[in-house]
Chains A and B, each alone.
Chain A
Amino acid sequence: MPDQSAIMRMGRDLLVILHGDLDDRTVESIEREVTSEVARTSARGALIDVSGVDVIDSFVAQVLARLVRMVRLLGAEAAIVGIRPAVAITLVELGASMPEVTTALSAEQGMARLRRMRADDSARIDHGNHR
């Protein structure tokens, strides 16, 4: 992973802080470490903070969408936080607006959304059981 990137545990969730320049090599190590950490800790959610990433272009947008799918495959929810206004505009212009990915304004809001997604999920299951 790039030097200043980090994975922190917050209760049953992980906070993944990405930093610096994301290229092919760093992306590979990020995917490896995030997936193994989600599995190892049996995390229920991963909040990915991209506010420290130098450049967010369509390549990085693909990487992020992929990372979210990997986390979901491991049974956890994922959300992205820290997309700045200029980056948001650029991604929409590039047609890389990651429609399937949950986003949040702040780490706090992001954590709340992860919890809500889980609650919706269990509510759906409960609802299904009652039927």
Chain B
Amino acid sequence: MTDGPVALVEDLDYYTQMWNTIADYAVIKLDGEGLIRSWHTGAEHLTGYTAAEIIGQPAAVFYPAADAAAGLAGADLRAAAEAGTYATEGWRLRKDGTLYWASVALTAVSGRAGSAGGFGMIIHDLTVVREKALTLRGLGQLVNSIADIQVIRVDCDGLVRSWNPGAQKLTGYLAEEVIGHHVSMFYTEDDARSGVLDREMHAAVRDGSMEAEGWRIRKDGTRFWANVVLSPIRDDHGEVEGYVKVARDLTERREQDRLVQRQRDEILDLSTPVIQVWDKVLVLPLIGTLDSGRAARLTESLLERIAADQAEVVILDISGVPGIDSAVAQHLLETVEAARLMGTDSILSGVRPDTAQSMVHLGIELGGLRSRTSLRDALQLALRLVDERASSGDEAGVRA
């Protein structure tokens, strides 16, 4: 290429065209006074000013009012003039008054012989990038501030990619001990072998997220009962790039649940005692209200005792039951029926006058169930029934 005027013009055309295609940067020439001397479509796009409006204006118009008043524009130019180049980030102002976060690079350009020096200014709008970075940093801080919950990122191969203080507290591992290791290190041997993680990942991708509970192992070898939620991380194209794993220690809650269950069982056991009062005669003293849970339990324990003791007669004593409604009566009759199927007769005892009235008014049908008012009478009847059966049937026995 010759160094003639034609080539220079061609170069200028070339650079002008290139300039005009830059859309997200403003590349502006300032003179030695800091006045704007060139403009292009990218700059117009970024700031909203047209060339006619801006050429000749000081660079301070890009600064927010407070910064401009403080002389920040001049300070920036002086910094560039001293060091040759100067880069900064900060809020800048558009024509419409909105702000954008800009990365600004200033370069001092010394003029050719006879022409004054100036500056090249490149402005890049980083508002979106800054937002994303802040969001990420906020999320990171959020995750790190969770002290009791493990929030970690796992890649598609199951390798740990991030760690938080909650994870450290939960498992006892430091970040450097786990990053890059397979998460199966927290699983019980059986779970790790049977490929629980693969199944969990599969379920998480299929359903959007997966929640499970199970034993996990700490660094010191102790185990804890964890609630785990696994969710896939997808990229912009919807491809799974990894997983977020959130785990909580529920050991204590599980222990409490089991304790409550055990106590409930014990109370049920205590509230449904079956007493053997005589050879082959059982008494079931019913006390308190009978809900369906207790009634089922009661039937069960009574039938077990019938089988174990080969009881011929069972006395159901209801003198301790505050009121017999149709639901309670239904439970009682079912118990009587089940006992009969096993070959055992039942006697109802402790029926008070008001109970007798309400049972008949409620239309409760006792069928062939014998009933006595006192436990003593019921026991006498029971003994007669047992005797009667023992008398081997060679002679007709006593009828109840």
Contacts and interface: CB of A to CB of B under 8 A. Distances in A.
A85 B300 contact: yes
B334 A92 contact: yes
Contact of B389 (A98, A113, A118, A122): A113
Nearest to A121: B396
A92 B333 CA distance: 10
A89 B340 CA distance: 11
A112 B342 contact: no
A89 B338 contact: yes
Most buried by A among B306, B339, B341, B367: B341
B96 interface: no
Contacts of A105: 306-307, 310-312, 342-344
A116 B400 CA distance: 14
A122 B306 CA distance: 31
Contacts of A113: 343, 389, 393
Interface residues of A, number: 30
B338 A118 contact: no
A83 B341 contact: yes
B82 interface: no
A115 B338 contact: no
Interface in A69-92: 81, 83-85, 87-89, 91-92
A120 B399 CA distance: 10
Interface string B361-400: 0000001000000000000000000001110111111000
Tell me the interface secondary structure of chain B in the complex.
Answer: helix
Contacts of B339: 88
Contacts of A36: none
Nearest to A116: B393
A119 B393 contact: yes
Contacts of B157: none
A22 to B, nearest CB: 17
Contacts of A109: 310, 312, 343, 389
Contact of A104 (B343, B392, B393, B394): B343
Nearest to B307: A85
A84 B397 contact: no
Contacts of A118: 393
Contact of B299 (A89, A91, A114): A89
Nearest to A81: B343
A85 B389 contact: no
Interface size class on chain B is 20 to 34
A106 interface: yes
A89 B394 CA distance: 33
Contact of A119 (B306, B307, B394): B394
Interface string B158-189: 00000000000000000000000000000000
Contacts of B300: 85, 89
A116 B342 contact: no
A100 to B, nearest CB: 11
B211 interface: no
Contacts of B394: 115, 119
A97 interface: yes
B338 A92 contact: yes
B282 interface: no
A85 B338 contact: yes
B312 A88 contact: no
A115 B341 contact: no
Contacts of A83: 341-343
A123 B306 contact: no
Given A92-B338, A97-B341, A85 B393 contact: no
Given A85-B307, A120-B396, A123-B396, A91 B389 contact: no
Contacts of B312: 105, 109
B304 interface: yes
Interface of A: 81, 83-85, 87-89, 91-93, 97-99, 103-106, 109-110, 112-120, 122-123
Given A85-B342, A89-B303, A114-B393, 10 more contacts: A85-B307, A88-B341, A92-B337, A93-B334, A103-B340, A106-B310, A109-B312, A113-B393, A116-B393, A119-B397
19 contacts: A83-B342, A85-B338, A88-B337, A88-B342, A89-B300, A91-B338, A92-B334, A92-B338, A97-B337, A97-B338, A104-B343, A105-B343, A112-B393, A113-B343, A115-B394, A116-B388, A116-B389, A116-B392, A120-B396
